[in-house]
Amino acid sequence: MTTVNALSEVAALMGDPARAAMLSLLMDGRAHTASDLALAAGVTAQTASGHLGRMTEANLLAARAQGRNRFYRLASGDVAHAIESLMALAGTRAQSTAGAASRSAAWRRDPDLRFCRTCYDHLAGQVGIAVTDSLTQHGHLEPKGSHDWKLTPSGELFCARVGVDLGGARQATTRHFARQCLDWSERRPHISGALGSAIADTFFKKGWAEKLRRGRTVRLTDSGRRALARDFGASV
């Protein structure tokens, strides 16, 4: 019964429109102030403080004080994974119940967001799927159960060749190594977990992709397009 109660509590926390807006903003992987989150949710600072306190107590968020500000971020990759899956489910439900109205969904209004974005600390959208498809089609990733992937020996060689920090990824023992994360715009899983984060870091450090100043949208650079074709055998 305890598990049922905990599930009900988390669902209620995520289901509130203001809290859902805050969680959506935090999916960019950055830490945000309470003021930023209040603005995103369209609520007063006092109301936002109550929401943030409840989500922090439930271990959905982690808070850190810096000077006069208090910054909030998602507590873990598992929280981000749950939010992304709920976004995919919500989009599917909207398509089945709202018909043409569903075309107002965020990824249909914003092709850049659908093309490439961050999902917490890894790549999502068409680029994230292209990377994942390449790794699976070349035998670098294999399914491991219903929610994870296994990096094969050829995958280890590939990661070493393109500069993915596997050592650092394997040191992240508190999270899944290679997780299947359902992409809310593409409706298929992209790679998340420590390996997904390490791959994204490679794209950013090599200048293959650039985060925009606000939001989750990521710009794929010309060198990134060349790297996708050269190293991954993929085009987007």
Domain boundary assignment for the chain:
2-75, 103-232
Q: What pLDDT score was predicted for residue 108?
A: 53
Cβ atoms within 10 A of the Cβ of 205, count?
A: 11
pLDDT at 209: 97
Q: In this predicted structure, what is the pLDDT of residue 67?
A: 83
Helix pair angle (17-26, 2-15), 10° resolution: 80
Q: Which residues of the chain have pLDDT under 50?
A: 1, 92-105, 107
Q: What is the pTM of this model?
A: 0.75
Q: Dump pLDDT digits (tens) for 65-103.
A: 888 889 999 998 888 888 888 887 775 444 444 443 443
Dihedral angle, C-alpha 47, 102, 86, 84, nearest 10 °: -90
Calpha distance 54→19 (Å, rounded): 10
**Predicted local distance difference test score (pLDDT) of residue 27:** 87
Task: Report d(CA 120, CA 35) in Å as an integer.
Answer: 20
Q: Angle, nearest 10°, between helix axes 45-57 and 17-26?
A: 70
**Dist. CA 168–CA 200, nearest whole Å:** 13
Q: Is the CATH number 3.40.50.1100 carried by domain 2-75?
A: no
190 neighbors 123 (Cβ within 8 angstroms): yes
